[in-house]
Structure 1
Amino acid sequence: MDLGLAGRRALVTGAGKGIGRATVQALHAAGARVVAVSRTQADLDSLVRECPGVEPVCVDLGNWEATERALSSVGPVDLLVNNAGVALLQPFLEVTKEACDTSFDVNLRAVIQVSQIMAKGLIARGAPGAIVNVSSQASQRAVTNHSVYCSTKGALDMLTKVMALELGPHKIRVNAVNPTVVMTPMGKANWSDPHKAKTMLDRIPLGRFADVENVVDAILFLLSDRSSMTTGSTLPVDGGFLAT
């Protein structure tokens, strides 16, 4: 199915690894022009070698001023994937200020900032657009040692709905995808313990964690005009976890 993404200009954050990198590769293959944002230059260099024509932007989205400088001159963008995120896992009684600050800066505040920059550009051009926020099943279910992560993703789900409400009149759609554990390097690092993994897998009706492609397919659908009547949604890619 042709999603009609050829010629569109897309910006993807957290583009160096995992879901973000795979999203850039898929958009590039679909004929979109992609701006790839990552804080790791080496990841961007290898991505550009793989996908010639991708425009790299190296910046730490946790730094508001640096992000403003880096993205203010990016130019017109039609599609945005807010994928950058951190998962700092701590027992609730050991949660630190640093974990809170870093997690909310990257997982929530950066989404607001990057989306503002993109949306203002679309509104100024009078152009329609689509934003997809990469959330998590942890936005809607409590997970041990994930106090801060669950909180940031719960806030991201509600931010998605408010953005959809306010940006809808400007023909800008905003949705979220909410994956279960995805077999990215971060997913493998946090769920490598077989006992811990079993406790999660036992709650997933399909009995497996998600592949990166499962999430990317959902993102591309929500970016495309095939989902033109969908906004303010949180789309589970969770094997049925949230149904249990």
Structure 2
Amino acid sequence: MTLKLPRTPSFRLDGRTALVVGASSGIGQAAAVALAQAGAQVVLAARSIDRLELTVATLKELGLEASALALDVGDVEAMEARLSSLPAFDILVNSAGLARHGPALETTFADFDAVASINLRGAYFLTRSVARRLIEAGKPGSLINISSQMAHVGGIDRAVYSATKHAVEGFTKSMAIEWGGYGIRVNTICPTFIRTPLAEQTFSNPERVRWIEEKIKLGRIGELEDIMGPVTFLASDASAMITGTALMVDGGWTAG
């Protein structure tokens, strides 16, 4: 007698299109590479196409499908207009973000508005724009916002940043509830400190590195590769029953 065994859902993304915003470097670039390697046709987006060209060219040299798109999530009206003219994307990864760290007592109105404009307002309307096109096309999709472990805890000098990331978790849950009936999943990935060019200033401070490594229970700084698997997982059918949740990639930081 032969048993009918369940089959592992595919992590492959062949035939799907993905929009990765904030893809010129760091986590966004790594996410774009991961999705392309999994078979997706990836559109890398940032404010300037010039910063994307080398990544796109390298992906094409590897036989992967990639193109560049100028998109500024800080200009939500122009962003919505641009996305409304494009076919629906099956996958969204939003890695556009801004941080202006400092003591809460020293937060300026300008700094607050700048961070909230990208991390909250831009993320909200970007997610909505991609979902709207999917609903119009009658297609399911997976929408992923790169959040932060600071969306679940607080941190010194990070009141504004943490506030915006907590807000991303809130709208993610609400959107997941609203759009679940359309087959649209909405989730976040919440990284700890990841070794990227933008984080080099933090990692140049030995005292700060020791503090970070004490908080991360696995005892090491995160690497870009640590994000690539989770992005592929949430984009694929392997996570078909996951929506409205946060995938912690924090080495155990928030567990403690």
Max radius of gyration: which structure? 2
Taking the aligned partners of 2:204 and 2:50, their CA distance within structure 1 comes to: 26
Deviates more, 1:186-195 or 1:104-113: 186-195
1:220 CA displacement: 1.0
Distance 1:65 1:159 in 2: 19
Cα distance in structure 1, aligned partners of 2:128 and 2:12? 25
TM-score (normalizing by structure 1): 0.95
Structure 1 vs Structure 2: percent identity of aligned residues? 39
Aligned counterparts of 1:82 and 1:22: Cα–Cα separation in 2: 12
1:196 Cα deviation after fit: 1.4
Q: How far apart, CA to CA, are the structure 2 residues paired with 1:120 and 1:60?
A: 18
Give me the whole-angstrom Cα distance separating, in 2, the residues matched to 1:234 and 1:243.
Answer: 13
Structure-1 residue corresponding to 2:187: 175
Unaligned 5+ segments in structure 2 are 1-7
Give the Å deviation of 1:72.
Answer: 2.4
Residue 5 of structure 2 corresponds to none
Query: RMSD of aligned C-alpha atoms?
Result: 1.4
**Distance (Å, rounded) in 1 between the aligned partners of 2:210 and 2:153:** 17
SS in structure 2 at match of 1:81? strand
Q: Aligned partner of 1:144: which letter?
A: I
Which one-letter code corresponds to 2:43 in the other structure?
Answer: V
Task: Identify which of 95, 104, 114 aligns with 2:116.
Answer: 104
Compared CA separation, residues 15 and 236, structure 1 to 2 (3 A): same
Deviations 1:156-176 (A, max 9, x none): 111111111111111101111
Identify which of 204, 212, 219 aligns with 2:231: 219
| Kept after mapping to 2: 8 A contact 1:164/1:232 | yes
Matched, 1:24 2:36: no
- The SS at the match of 1:80 is strand
Indicate which of 161, 164, 167 corresponds to 2:173: 161
Alignment of 1:122-133 (within 5 A): 122-133=134-145
Match 1:49 to one of 57, 69, 72: 57
Residue pair 2:124, 2:168 contacting (<8 A) in 1 also: no
| 1:193-212 equivalences in 2 (<5 Å) | 193-212=205-224
Match of residue 3 from structure 2: none
- The residue type equivalent to 1:81 in the other structure is V
Shift of 1:202: 0.8
What amino acid does structure 1 have at the position aligned with 2:14? A
**Displacement of 1:41 after TM fit?**
2.6
Paired residues in the alignment total 244
**Deviations 1:209-236 (Å, cap 9, x if unpaired)?**
1111111211110111101111111111
Q: What letter corresponds to residue 180 of structure 1 in structure 2? A: T
